[in-house]
């Protein structure tokens, strides 16, 4: 798939006309008609009235707000529902021209492979080699062939050196590669990727996306991709399927027209926009303002906001678009892309927490190895680094949940261990990665009241505060529900709301936006932001450099238990770029586009 094909427009984009190679038109990998799914017979359906098709050789991106049933749809289409999990499925699904019901159990696996989101619970064997052998045994592959097939598929995903390793010792990215190798061992013609990279660090994420792209091309695989963060995938997608919160498909067609005509709708549904598109929109706005203010070549600036063209969806396309601008407009765009953030003036400069030479060992190995840092009031600090760098361990040391083996932590000048548990919890709050872990009470209302009651506030005040919080976090309707019965987004909101009612000064957040849609994430970030402005400090563990760029005042790079960098995000992107790859990070798109544009400009200047 070339960029040209991607950008090809002017056709009508109904579902029946797939983009890309036309010779595959007749072959339909998956066909669904009138598909509906409910988990209980009389319950409201999760999916309703779905007509969808995936053509052979196509790459389809399935988007939708969190909890809308994207994964459920993918599992229906691949025959996992209702076979593997009790559910009621209506409608017709056929796979490669044959109705689902006509397949023997186990046969579909040889046509469609799945890589799941939760990389821990998709294996049943202990070692890498055994897991692939398990797949081969399932289709009765002759024993004599197994050895070389295992070698071949491990080679394709680059895991041959780990053939005899235990699966639990692999990193998250490697586990997903192993899942991919399993699909290859089954010789599938199609791959379903169910948010495979949502819990990987940026480097592993891109590596995995590149691997899938390369394999799909080489093996001619059909792809159905579900992913919140679509920047890694949008470039290879031929078609979009967009679902709304009610579990129906609202768009089926080429990616470019969707992001051209339905941006407002996408935003309302909480669907992530490609970062390139967001940047372009922001630039167009800024450029037109600059143009108006200076009244210089405003016509050129207007170009970028021009409606006639397809919007840029990838970094490459954004760069191309910017390169086509006149030179002076490019220079303006450059300065707008990487604005100098006005550094927050630490008027009070109150030090909350000071850690000195922390060491923490697990099984003799130093997980945290000589970490010193300071957290001040009104500061938003991002803690980044590769998977397994010790980020969560550091956060739990700083919040006093675990004791360091060496070194000390001062909270407002007093040793952490001299605080009473109650005082400590009143000062430091912690938002865990999985919201369920934090739930204590039986109803949403009690959950929110729990922290308040502990502060010894009168029951009347507690009730009024709870009611207030319920409305603020849009939880009123479900005030009497059990926290565990909520949707993913509601759970996250509740867990954050419950922590925020406790008015702690220092908040630790462990990947708070994990698995959240665009709307929920943005809202959460804004909430934390307002806390920071009110003088609290936030320490946020994250893999998402775009959030770091957008919100953090300071970024700490942690790798192998040691701090590699501690300073402003802007200077990390521009002056310490070598640190990024070494620590599995990635430059935010505005900086990488700006960097490439600058190089182009410089080269152009020399030529002239």
Q: Nearer to another protein by C-beta: 426 or 481?
A: 426
Angle between helices 459-472 and 444-454 (to 10 degrees): 130
E strands of 254-363, at which residues?
Answer: 351-362
Name the one residue in this structure whose structure tokens are 């929110």. 448
Least distance CB 335 / another protein (angstroms)? 44
Q: Nearer to another protein by C-beta: 186 or 470?
A: 186
- Cα dist. 291→41, 285, 326, 329, 336 in Å? 60, 10, 13, 9, 12
Decide: helix, strand or coil at residue 492. Answer: helix
**Distance separating alpha carbons of residues 20 and 255, to the nearest angstrom:** 12
Bridge-based pairing state of the strands 222-226 and 190-194: parallel
Q: Nearer to another protein by C-beta: 438 or 463?
A: 438
Least distance CB 27 / another protein (angstroms)? 22
Q: Nearer to another protein by C-beta: 146 or 250?
A: 146
Q: What is the CA radius of gyration of the chain?
A: 26
Q: Nearer to another protein by C-beta: 361 or 598?
A: 361
Least distance CB 432 / another protein (angstroms)? 5
Least distance CB 395 / another protein (angstroms)? 10
**Distance separating alpha carbons of residues 324 and 333, to the nearest angstrom:** 12
Least distance CB 534 / another protein (angstroms)? 21
Least distance CB 566 / another protein (angstroms)? 25
Q: Nearer to another protein by C-beta: 298 or 396?
A: 396
* Exposure on the CB side of residue 465, measured as CA atoms within 13 A: 21
339 Cβ contact partners less than 8 Å away, ≥ 6 residues apart: none
Other residues' Cβ atoms within 10 Å of the Cβ of residue 457: 15
User: What values do phi and psi take at 567, rounded to 5?
Assistant: 180, -160
Q: Nearer to another protein by C-beta: 84 or 289?
A: 84
The beta-carbon contacts of 316-321 under 8 Å, at least 24 apart in sequence, are: 316/3, 316/235, 317/3, 317/7, 317/276, 318/276, 318/279, 318/280, 318/589, 318/593, 319/593, 319/596, 319/597, 319/600, 321/280
Q: Distance between alpha carbon 416 and the CA centroid of its chain, in Å?
A: 34
**Distance separating alpha carbons of residues 70 and 82, to the nearest angstrom:** 16
Least distance CB 179 / another protein (angstroms)? 8
75 Cβ contact partners less than 8 Å away, ≥ 6 residues apart: 81, 84, 85
Q: Nearer to another protein by C-beta: 6 or 170?
A: 170
Least distance CB 254 / another protein (angstroms)? 29
Least distance CB 270 / another protein (angstroms)? 23
Least distance CB 129 / another protein (angstroms)? 8
**Distance separating alpha carbons of residues 200 and 223, to the nearest angstrom:** 20
Q: Nearer to another protein by C-beta: 439 or 565?
A: 439
Q: Nearer to another protein by C-beta: 171 or 288?
A: 171
Query: Are 303 and 325 contacting, i.e. CB atoms less than 8 angstroms apart?
Result: yes
Query: Are 203 and 385 contacting, i.e. CB atoms less than 8 angstroms apart?
Result: no
386 closest CA partner among 587, 585, 577, 567: 585
Q: Nearer to another protein by C-beta: 112 or 353?
A: 112
Q: Nearer to another protein by C-beta: 109 or 277?
A: 109
**Distance separating alpha carbons of residues 109 and 594, to the nearest angstrom:** 45
Q: Distance between alpha carbon 183 and the CA centroid of its chain, in Å?
A: 23
Least distance CB 370 / another protein (angstroms)? 23
Interface ranges with another protein (CB under 8 A): 75, 78, 80, 83-85, 104-107, 109-110, 112-114, 116, 118, 120-127, 129-130, 133-143, 146, 150, 167-168, 182, 186, 396, 399, 401, 421-422, 425-426, 428-430, 432, 434, 436-440, 450-451, 454, 484, 498-499, 502
Least distance CB 213 / another protein (angstroms)? 21
């Amino acid at each position: 798939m070339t960029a040209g094909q991607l950008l090809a427009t002017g056709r009508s984009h109904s579902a029946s006309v797939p983009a890309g190679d036309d010779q595959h038109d007749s072959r339909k990998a998956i066909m669904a008609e009138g598909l509906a799914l409910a988990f209980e017979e009389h319950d409201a359906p999760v999916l309703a009235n779905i007509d969808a098709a995936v053509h052979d050789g196509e790459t389809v991106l399935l988007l939708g707000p969190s909890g809308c049933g994207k994964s459920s749809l993918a599992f229906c289409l691949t025959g996992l529902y209702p076979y593997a999990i009790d559910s009621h499925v209506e409608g017709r699904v056929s796979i490669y021209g044959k109705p689902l019901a006509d397949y023997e159990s186990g046969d579909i696996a040889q046509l469609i492979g799945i890589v799941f989101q939760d990389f821990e619970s998709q294996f049943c064997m202990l070692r890498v080699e055994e897991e692939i052998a398990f797949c081969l045994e399932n289709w009765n592959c002759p024993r004599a062939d197994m050895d070389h097939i295992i070698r071949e598929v491990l080679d394709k995903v680059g895991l041959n050196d780990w053939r005899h390793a235990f699966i639990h010792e692999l990193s998250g990215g490697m586990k997903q590669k192993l899942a991919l190798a399993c699909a290859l061992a089954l010789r599938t013609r199609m791959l379903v990727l169910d948010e495979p990279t949502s819990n990987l660090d940026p480097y592993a994420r891109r590596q995995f996306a590149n691997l899938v792209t390369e394999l799909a091309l080489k093996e001619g695989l059909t792809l159905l991709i579900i992913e919140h963060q679509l920047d890694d995938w949008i470039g290879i997608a031929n078609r979009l399927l967009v679902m709304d919160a009610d579990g129906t498909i609202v768009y089926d067609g080429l990616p470019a027209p969707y992001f051209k005509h339905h941006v407002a709708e996408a935003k309302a549904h909480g669907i992530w926009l490609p970062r390139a598109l967001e940047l372009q929109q922001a630039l167009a706005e800024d450029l037109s303002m600059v143009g108006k203010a200076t009244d210089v070549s405003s016509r050129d600036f207007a170009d970028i906001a021009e409606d006639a063209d397809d919007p840029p969806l990838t970094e490459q396309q954004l760069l191309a678009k910017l390169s086509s601008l006149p030179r002076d407009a490019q220079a303006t765009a450059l300065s707008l892309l990487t604005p100098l953030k006005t550094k927050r003036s630490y008027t009070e400069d109150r030090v909350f927490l000071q850690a000195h030479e922390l060491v923490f060992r697990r099984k003799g190995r130093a997980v945290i190895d000589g970490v010193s840092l300071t957290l001040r009031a009104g500061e938003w600090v991002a803690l980044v680094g590769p998977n397994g760098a010790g980020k969560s361990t550091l956060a739990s040391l700083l919040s006093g949940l675990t004791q360091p083996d060496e070194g000390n932590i001062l909270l407002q000048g007093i040793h952490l261990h001299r605080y009473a548990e109650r005082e400590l919890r009143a000062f430091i709050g912690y938002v865990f990665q999985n919201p369920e872990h934090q739930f204590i009470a039986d109803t949403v209302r009690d959950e929110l009241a729990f922290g308040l009651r502990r502060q010894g506030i009168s029951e009347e005040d507690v009730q009024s505060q709870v009611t207030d919080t319920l409305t603020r976090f849009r939880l009123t309707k479900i005030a009497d529900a059990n926290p565990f019965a909520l949707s993913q987004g509601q759970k996250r909101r509740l867990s954050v709301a419950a922590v925020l009612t406790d008015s702690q000064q220092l908040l630790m957040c462990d990947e708070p936006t994990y698995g959240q849609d665009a709307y929920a994430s943005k809202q959460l970030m804004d909430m934390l932001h307002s806390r920071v402005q009110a003088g609290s400090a936030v320490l946020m563990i994250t893999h998402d450099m775009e959030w770091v760029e957008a919100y953090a005042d300071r970024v700490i790079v942690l790798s192998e238990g040691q701090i590699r960098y501690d300073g402003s995000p802007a200077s990390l992107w521009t002056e310490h770029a070598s640190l990024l790859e070494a620590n599995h990070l990635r430059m935010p798109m505005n900086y990488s586009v700006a960097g490439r544009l600058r190089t182009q400009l410089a080269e152009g200047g020399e030529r002239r």
